[in-house]
Amino acid sequence: MDLSCPNQALSRRRALTAATGLAAGALLPPAAVPGIASAAAQRADLATAAAYTNPVIWQDFADIDVIRVGDTFYASASTMHYSPGAPVLRSYDLVNWEVAGHSVPVLDFGAKYDLNGARGYVRGIWASSLAYRPSNRTFYWLGQIDFARTYVYTATAAEGPWNRLTTISTPYYDAGLLVDSDDTLYVAYGNTTISVAQLSPDGRTQVRTQQVFTTPSSVGTLEGSRFYKINGQYYIFLTRPANGQYILKSSRGPFGPYTMRQVLLDLRGPIPGGGVPHQGGLVQTQNGAWYYMAFVDAYPGGRMPALAPVTWTSDGWPVVQLVDGSWGTSYPSPAVPPPPRPVTPMTGVDTFDGSTLKPRWEWNHNPDNTKWSVGNGLTLRTATVTNDLYWARNTLTHRIQGPVSTATVQLDHSAMRDGDRAGLALLRDSSAWIGISRDGGAAQVVMVNGLTMDGSWNTTGIGTEVAGAAVSGSRVWLRASADIRPGTARHATFSYSTDGATFTRLGPAFPLGNDWRFFMGYRFALFNHATQALGGAVRVTRFELSTP
């Protein structure tokens, strides 16, 4: 979106006017704002600020698009086959974030997203775009699905409800949506060949599309478009996966011509063992300072958002501010107004009270909504008869908090039936779990590993029970601890308890795979599926995500 969008509240507009001497809602040009005319000036301006550390979110939120509406920052991220999709994150300071909702309430793009005869692993919600349109006070999410078509969803509040506005036949790959200063909607998109489309005033149809840039062979691939209008110039921010960032600039309009400049290449990142910060977007604070929020490849955990200040050259090109030649592990915190409230932590306890799931939860593919409920705990009734967890519906997932964290689940298994399997998994293309296996009228706590998929995301291993112990009573506590720091020697361990206080290790350490091709990082997952017949159920009365 045009980063000059006006603040919503009159008092905020007056405050901005008083602070900058500019008309309310006007873009703050880089050279006109104290503290961002040069790198030295910005460092001096922020010298007294508190510091933040990178990554600002040590959870898997990739392909970030970040915007500001008034005094609130919002971001969107990729979720592939998880449902609901396209989480909307909210922050008041660019450092502390919460999950507000999801732009795509259900992946209704075909039966494979329901695990109905096919599977949608590593498909679904890829890099997409989030924007805000001041003229109708509406949020827009735009993304292509399965290289077939583009979907647009809208909402008047970030937490929703979100509704589908339209379907466009052109698949806008890795799109960036711009709301221009005259309210026209434009989309930048493509891989290597970059195009710009203009949408109709209502955003429902394509009016025009035109190729605007071809990436030089010396650069290779460019994708991940983010589209901006800054100080009268049009910019398309592009990533070279997975080690570079480039920007195109046009002074002649959204359709170019564009010139290109490298923003970063092979830059050391802030996570030891992790990759180069890349992809993501630019955002401007209320006082005119600019930041770049990128992600860092940090498998087995996924892709973690990192934040760095940006200054501008005198001729209008962005420059990422480095620390000792690297993307800093720490910078002065953005100078922003005090937040109206603390954001909701992404860790802590969930007892599944209320009538809906908290927005930090996502299902593995679409759930069968007749087979689960919340209120006085999470009830999971068996929804699939299968011996393959990758085919089981209603597996509920939660991102892992890095660098090391533990999930602890209290499970009531008294309503399980013979053949049922329920528990806590570490879910990816190589998976393992601890849980209850009920057979012959008896329940046993087991640790299972060897659940695997190949590079086409077909199951190659349904798992092997490697440890087990008899349990009595109706309740058990299950625990999984995961080290998701980047590297090849990262492991998870499983344990259980019958009293919630003393935990017993079960099974060998589980090596976490760090291949990037599954894209999503490991997640904690709650599951219950049948291997014989439907009808059983479990109740999760407590979930806790904790860090050392």
Q: Note the pLDDT tens digit of each residue in 338-368.
A: 999 999 999 999 999 999 999 999 999 999 9
Q: What is the pTM of this model?
A: 0.91
- Average pLDDT, consecutive stretches of 10 residues, N- to C-terminus, the chain (548 residues): 34 30 33 39 51 98 98 98 98 98 98 97 98 98 98 98 98 98 98 98 98 98 98 98 98 98 98 98 98 98 98 98 98 97 98 97 98 97 98 98 98 98 98 98 97 98 98 97 94 98 98 97 98 98 97
Separation CA 230–CA 284 (nearest Å):
10
Here the tokens at position 101 are 């909702």
| Contact assessment for residue 469 and residue 504, using Cβ atoms and an 8 Å cutoff | yes
Q: What is the pLDDT of residue 213?
A: 98
Position 9 scores a pLDDT of: 32
According to DSSP, the residues that pair with 168 across neighbouring strands are 150
| Cα dihedral: 385, 390, 394, 399 (round 10) | 160
Residue 18 makes CB contacts below 8 A (sequence gap 6+) with none
Closest-CA residue to 376 (of 350, 413, 402)? 350
> What is the per-residue pLDDT for 38?
43
Identify the pLDDT of residue 49. 62
What is the H or E stretch that residue 77 is in? Answer: strand 72-78
- Degrees (nearest 5) of the Cα angle 174, 175, 177? 160
pLDDT in tens, 242-261: 999 999 999 999 999 999 99
* Backbone φ/ψ region at 16: left (φ over 0), alpha (ψ -120 to 50), beta: alpha
Output the pLDDT for position 23.
27
Q: Give domain limits for the chain.
A: 10-332, 348-546
- Same-fold call for 10-332 versus 348-546: no
Q: Is residue 419 within 8 Å of 529, Cβ to Cβ?
A: no
What single letter denotes the amino acid at residue 84?
Answer: P
In order, the DSSP letters of 168-200 are: ESS--TT-EEEE-TTS-EEEEE-SSEEEEEEE-
**CATH C-level class of 10-332:** mainly beta
Which CATH number is 348-546's, of 3.40.50.2300, 1.10.10.60, 1.10.3720.10, 2.60.120.200?
A: 2.60.120.200
pLDDT number for residue 122: 98
pLDDT digits (tens, 9 = 90+) for 471-505: 999 999 999 999 999 988 899 999 999 999 999 99
**Per-residue pLDDT at 463:** 98
Q: Is the dihedral of CA 382, 385, 390, 391 positive or negative?
A: negative
User: Which residue is it, tokens 């995961």?
Assistant: 482
Rounded distance between C-alpha atoms, residue 504 and residue 502, angstroms: 7
Confidence at residue 487, expressed as pLDDT on a 0 to 100 scale: 86
**Residue 315 amino acid letter:** D
